[in-house]
Amino acid sequence: MKTPFNDSRLQADIQYLEDAMDEVIRYQEGDALLKLVEEFRTDCKKIKDQYDPSIEAFLLREAGQLDISLSSKLIQAFALYFYLLNTAEENFSMQERRDIQRLDGIVKGSFDECLIKLKDNGIDSKALLDLIADLSIEPVMTAHPTEAKRLTILKKYRKIYLTIFKKENPIWTPEEKALLREDIINEIAKLWQTGDLFLERPTVEEEVSNGLYYFRETFYDVVPKIYRSMKSHLRKFYPDIDAQVLMIPAFLRFGSWIGGDRDGNPNVTPELTKWTLTTQKNCILSLYIQSIQKLIENLSQSTTKAGVSEELLASLENDARNMPDVNQKIFNRNLYEPYRQKLSFIKVRLEETNRANELNSTSSDSFGSSFDAKKVYHNPSELLNDLHIIHNSLISNKGFWTAEIDIEGMIKKVEVFGFHLARLDIREESSKHLRTLCEIFERLALYPDFGNFPEEEKILILTEEIQNPRPLIFDDMELSAESRNTLETFRVIRWARENICPEAVGSYIISMTHRISDILSVLLLAKEAGLYRSVSEGVLVRDQTAKGIDIVPLFETIDDLQHSYEIMDGLFSLPVYKKYLAHRNSIQEIMLGYSDSSKDGGIITSSWELYKVQHKLWDVAQQHGIHLRLFHGRGGTVGRGGGPTHK
């Protein structure tokens, strides 16, 4: 049962941070500014508790009399104050959850609450595991202007949060508590003297770097903890599940728009998208190398004390043959320690894979052409196979805890992040595809004035061209810069599938989708780039790249939302599109626009139309035997359709 709400600790933390901030302001700016801040803060608290028009009038009058310099400092003080309040609230929420768990209570939204409900509803272990196997959750990172904080600012706030959390520990002496307070004051002082926002629009490279910060600092370490916690709760509520053989499927993945979203951002060029994909791969491979090094240090089991599987010994012999330049050094350094030996070979291969990635980003050759294929990991499956060999050997030789805690955590990281870190979504506005096709048709003297054709005629022409094996584009075709960029984006997707990872690029999102031809246009351009091959019934497409693009219409305006199910019904009825979906396991992803629909019709209208359209799209997909996946384009703020995300 949840404990009664008690915010005394929250108020204590707020006062603690407020006092620290006041000390910084007094030192940095003097008593005059501190007095002004205190006056405004006191009156704002009064008016929050009980509205008083006289206080409001006083605040407006006082604010209007301030000069620019003083106004900016007052705004800075309140901005800092509110961020510190958020920090205190985050710590309080986390501590409150811990208090509930310490009293054997149930935290809302936790694994405990979920599994209790499932069990109460008669879901047995088999049904539960089937349910988990069918889960697909993919948070997507975006570089939206509503998050304008610089990376250096975010790091400082995180340091303050960690220090606030740290001071909760009752072991500290008064002297140590004083030092912790000085640490917080130091960070607040640096925040006061640091530019809070980007003075100029950040470059795409800076946006990518900001996004990678969250993966390095949070997601990478948290992911194995989530799966381990889930496994622990499954054991608790479903003891008939064999913990030793249970391997929870990787239902969690991450996506990103940063470096792939070119809608409204001309700076996101094909070259920058390629750089983003290479940088993401470099980031995750570097993290893997660090993790493997830690495992080398930790897995010290010796053959003089424990057994080892024949499979692992055979793999070591194979590694030795494939890496003769390092095998003796590895064996001599880790004598009688086969797990360290295997992990050392894995590390060598990861380092070579990372080096190949950096060099390959500047080359148009296919992956691995300039490298020893026996040393480089060509895909995450090869790395996973090596990790499973270690895992199986530990399980069969009384190393269950090491297998579960150390190796399963690493396996989960590779399953979730692959060699791509996060699936990079590409987004482009529908009219760009139409203009590109019109220009191509014009150069070929085909379908003059295609852009003004009736929709039915466009569908017929696009269908015919998608099925036609004859290419439309030749190497020296003269096209505008915009059309070349559009085509090159599709070529970069193909390059990423072949050189980064088959999962490197996720959805191709068509913003402002108004009609069926908007979707078929993308399918035709994908075919021209070798990303889709229309074949006869019963013929297997062996080239995985040729079926490697997820076309996702984005319905944004109220009008488009209201007509979206009609568009998809017509699209699903086309044999050419059903054939494409057959290559995608009959899965159709559709993105729903929360922000633009809110701006178009207001928050209530948007919410109601989004609710209705989800039911209608589901019905249409069911009628056509299509598996529907919805991409909810909502942010955290109300203005972007946000709400209680945890629900």
Q: What are the residue numbers of the active site? A: 144, 599
Q: Which two tokens stand for residue 138?
A: 């993919």
Taking the CA atoms of residue 308, residue 314, residue 318 and residue 320 in that order, the dihedral angle to the nearest 10 degrees is 40
* One-letter amino acid for residue 355 of the chain: R
* Angle 59-60-61 from CA coordinates, rounded to 5°: 90
DSSP 8-state secondary structure symbol assigned to residue 420: T
Which residues contact residue 305 at a Cβ distance below 8 angstroms, ignoring those fewer than 6 apart?
A: none
Separation between Cα atoms, residue 23 and residue 505, nearest integer Å: 49
Whole-number Cα distances in Å, 479 to 409, 440, 476, 491, 570: 50, 8, 9, 16, 32
| Burial zone of 472 (CB within 10 Å; 0-12 exposed, 13-18 middle, 19+ buried) | middle
Cα torsion 518, 632, 130, 416: sign:
positive
Name all contacts of 74-83 with Cβ < 8 Å and 24+ positions apart.
74/33, 74/36, 74/37, 74/40, 76/192, 76/196, 77/21, 77/25, 77/33, 77/37, 78/37, 78/40, 78/41, 79/196, 80/21, 80/188, 80/191, 80/192, 81/18, 81/21, 81/41, 83/157
Whole-number Cα distances in Å, 252 to 117, 139, 414, 418, 527: 21, 8, 12, 12, 30
Backbone angles phi, psi at 588, to 5 degrees: -120, 120
Separation between Cα atoms, residue 232 and residue 243, nearest integer Å: 9
Q: Is 554 helix (H, G, I), strand (E, B) or coil?
A: strand
Whole-number Cα distances in Å, 147 to 30, 151, 264: 31, 11, 17
Q: Which two tokens stand for residue 94?
A: 């986390």
- Does residue 490 contact residue 531 with C-beta atoms inside 8 Å? yes
Of 456, 451, 446, the closest CA to residue 435 belongs to 451
Q: Which two tokens stand for residue 523?
A: 């399918």
Q: Is 113 helix (H, G, I), strand (E, B) or coil?
A: helix
Token pair 């997909």 is at which residue? Answer: 621
Token pair 């599109």 is at which residue? Answer: 577
Helix, strand, coil percentages, rounded to 5, for the chain: 60, 5, 30
